[in-house]
Structure 1
Amino acid sequence: MAKKIKEYNKLPKERRGKVKLLNELSGSEWTQLSKSVMSYGGAIAEKRKKHGAAFPITLVEHFLKIYTKQGDTVLDPFLGVGTTADACVLLNRNCIGFELNKEFFELAKAGIDPIDSKGREVYDVDLKLYNESCLELDKFIPSESVDLVITSPPYADLLHKVADKFAGYTYEKNIYKSQGRELAKPYSDHEEDLGNLTWEQYQNKIDILMGKLYNVTTEGGFNVWVVRDYRDIQNHIPYVNLHSKIIELATKNNWILIDIVIWDQTAQRKLVKLGGAKSRRFYFNIGHSFILIFRKNIRGEKFKNV
């Protein structure tokens, strides 16, 4: 981004008004994409059904259109089955991705599903996908070379806890089965998998990762995390405020929080009865995720976190 601004400043004044630094959106597109509460639909590709927690490709495309231009480089440190890479192929962005789960990695490498590419141009972009831990990303990516990070992380060892123990899990499993989808389960037994860590270990690794992401992102680049708060009833924790912890760890590593979008998932998540009159507990269904948007300052900017 800093390079783009320097190039922009070298242009004659009469040309500057015609050059777009951030994206390629028209004024009306810019406005329509700026809603703070969003829902994302579309068909579910077969490989995303196998993942169980993959975000929709329409979600990724939404933020690629806002925070990148054609030819920019996008990084997903938790690539999964490759939804981010597929969106990049459709929108002509280069992509770097890391995924520890071998099965997911192979699905990501297999390329875009016909249900996503139907009737659309598929670009020949630079895809660099690694079956490695994202905590090793600085071994593969030069500093200040990524324009946008977009990802959805694992939630510590949550998936080891919920199976048949969390209220609503069995019901949700039946809903997924009717849709031909698999419910999310532990992704791997790898010691570097953040989905196998305790809450304390998880925070430490996210802290390290946020610092590494900051180093490889260009000045003025963006970092978008899709996270959903959850409950750890097994350990008597009624509400795990994950999105606030992610914000804390990101801002600790100099990321500037610039926006939060609410992803309304109520259309995809059926309501279940949580708690009970006998226990005097009433829990709301968590039918939304937080999309946290951070930015790396350009040298000389004065934006700061409160």
Structure 2
Amino acid sequence: MGKKLTNRLNDLTSSEWLYWTDTLYITNYPPDATHYLRKAHGAMKPPELMADIIKFFTKKGETVLDPFAGVGGTLLGAALTDRKALGIELNPEWVKVYQEICRTFKVREGILERRGDFDQSPPDIFPEMVLGDCFEIFPTLADGSLDAVITDPPYGCQHKISGFKSETNFNMFNLQESKDLANAADFPAFLELMKKVGQEVWRVLKSKRYFVMILGDRYRDGEYIPLGYLVSQVMQEVGFKFKGLRIWCNKATQRPLKPYAIMTSFVPNITHQNILILRKE
């Protein structure tokens, strides 16, 4: 008999591993119990999705970093899978949303369940989310201390230029807005910022471990911008090996198709996002 293989990356079976290597990643996660809080953030990801990704790239008890934590989808995914995690988030409003989830929900049998009004049990210990700029917090993290970095960076450059700005919160958040990657002046500026992120991730990530990003492509001024590919090129300049991608679409919350330039020319309905898989080698 052949020697039994040792799984050095995760706790999955061989069949689970094989399924996860399919390039097409079509899910059907309906809004979960925390959705009514998380939906304030226009780009949040299902905790079940993040849990699925975390399960492939880590073992139980290992530590994940999300430097763009938003309302905490990655951290909630870590809680669902018995992983440790740290999140960094620039916007205090999103930190408040995550803290509210931590106060009012618990993990029960692998799902997030709202705590009852008369539930006297101690609150679950959810992963920590730190309020601040990731570029200022990265230096406090030790070299080679993390098992995975899994994130959904703010990539809507020149798509929603207003960022945090509004009549009621501009004065409070104008500093954060200026640091938000989504408000980069243009795509070259965005890519330079992403390169800085990659350099920091390279330092804090353990050898042979993975940096996973969720990024959508863009369509601007009549031209398709393969943003996922462009970011992967930048990360290769840093030193990461681009190991592949998965094309993800969640059918339960898919954007409706719109009649862009119908009967005139081809304009894509971008209903997918790219999950970029990079490795420190």
Which category describes the TM-score, using the shorter chain as reference length?
A: 0.7 to 0.9
Distance, in Å, in 1 between the alignment partners of 2:106 and 2:269 is 30
* Aligned equivalents of 2:102, 2:20: Cα separation in 1: 24
Counterpart in 2 of 1:102? 92
1:46 and 1:126 map into 2 onto residues whose CA distance is 19
Counterpart in the other structure of 1:204: 192
TM score, norm. by length of structure 2: 0.81
Q: Deviations over 1:108-155 (max 9, x none)?
A: 233459788354378966733211111223222111011111111112
Equivalent residue in structure 2 for 1:48, among 32, 38, 42: 38
Which blocks of at least 5 consecutive residues in structure 1 are unaligned? 1-15, 163-187, 298-306
1:40-75 superposed Cα distances (whole Å, 9 cap, x missing partner)? 313242222111111112221111111100111101
Q: CA RMSD in A?
A: 2.6
Q: Partner of 1:256 in structure 2?
A: 241
How far did 1:33 drift?
A: 2.4
Tell me, in whole angstroms, the C-alpha distance in 1 between the residues paired with 2:272 and 2:103: 26
One-letter amino acid matched to 1:31: L
Other-structure match for 1:9:
none
Which residue in 2 is equivalent to 1:20?
7
SS state at 2:30 partner = coil
**1:285 counterpart = 2:269:** yes
Post-superposition CA distance 1:204-241 (Å, at most 9, x none): 11111110010000001101111111122xxx252222
Mapped to 1, the partners of 2:52 and 2:103 lie a distance apart of 19
Do the aligned partners of 1:43 and 1:115 also contact (CA within 8 Å) in 2? Answer: no
Q: 1:143: which partner in 2?
A: 143
* 1:294-305 equivalent positions in 2, closer than 5 A: 294-297=278-281
- For residues 113 and 141 of structure 1, the distance between their equivalents in structure 2, rounded to whole angstroms, comes to 27
Map residues 121-140 of structure 1 onto 2, 5 A cutoff: 127-140=127-140
| Pair 113,86 (structure 1): closer, same or farther in 2 beyond 3 Å | farther
| Structure 2: stretches of 5+ with no match in the other structure | 113-122, 164-172
State the partner residue of 2:116. none
Render the CA deviation track for 1:242-287: whole Å, top value 9, x for unaligned.
111111111010010111101134551111111254xx43312111
2:223 to 224, 238, 258: 238
* Alignment length (residue pairs): 252
Deviates more, 1:68-77 or 1:49-58: 49-58
Report deviation, 1:95.
0.6
- The equivalences for 1:156-175 within 5 A come to 156-160=157-161
Per the alignment, residue 37 of structure 1 pairs with: 24
How many angstroms apart in 2 are the aligned matches of 1:157 and 1:147? 33
Amino acid aligned to 1:160: I
Is the alpha carbon distance of 1:26 and 1:80 closer, same or farther for their aligned partners in structure 2, counting shifts above 3 Å?
same
Instruction: Name the residue aligned to 1:169.
Output: none
Give the CA deviation at 1:107.
1.6
Q: 1:113 to 1:295 in 2, by over 3 A?
A: farther
CA distance in 1, matches of 2:9, 2:189: 36
Identity of aligned residues (%): 27
What secondary structure is seen at the aligned counterpart in 2 of 1:74?
Answer: strand
SS at match of 1:42: coil
Secondary structure at 1:158 match in 2:
coil
1:216–1:126 distance in 2 versus 1, CA, 3 Å: farther
Q: Determine if contact 2:76/2:126 at 8 Å carries over to the other structure.
A: no
Cα offsets for 1:71-102 (capped at 9, x unmatched): 11101111000011111111111111111111
* Equivalent-residue separation in structure 1 for 2:237 and 2:90 (angstroms): 26
CA 1:286 to 1:93, structure 2 compared with 1: closer, same or farther past 3 Å? same
> Cα distance 1:83–1:237, how it changes in 2: closer, same or farther (>3 A)?
same
| CA pair 26-159 structure 1, distance change in 2 beyond 3 A | same
Is contact 2:162–2:183 with CA below 8 Å preserved after alignment? no
Structure 2 distance, partners of 1:43, 1:141, is 34
Separation (CA, whole Å) in 2 of partners of 1:51 and 1:254: 32
Counterpart CA distance in 1 for 2:94 and 2:234 is 27
**Compared CA separation, residues 116 and 31, structure 1 to 2 (3 A):** farther
Task: Describe the shift of the 1:94–1:227 C-alpha distance in structure 2 as closer, same or farther (beyond 3 A).
Answer: same
User: Which residue of the partner structure matches residue 12 of structure 1?
Assistant: none
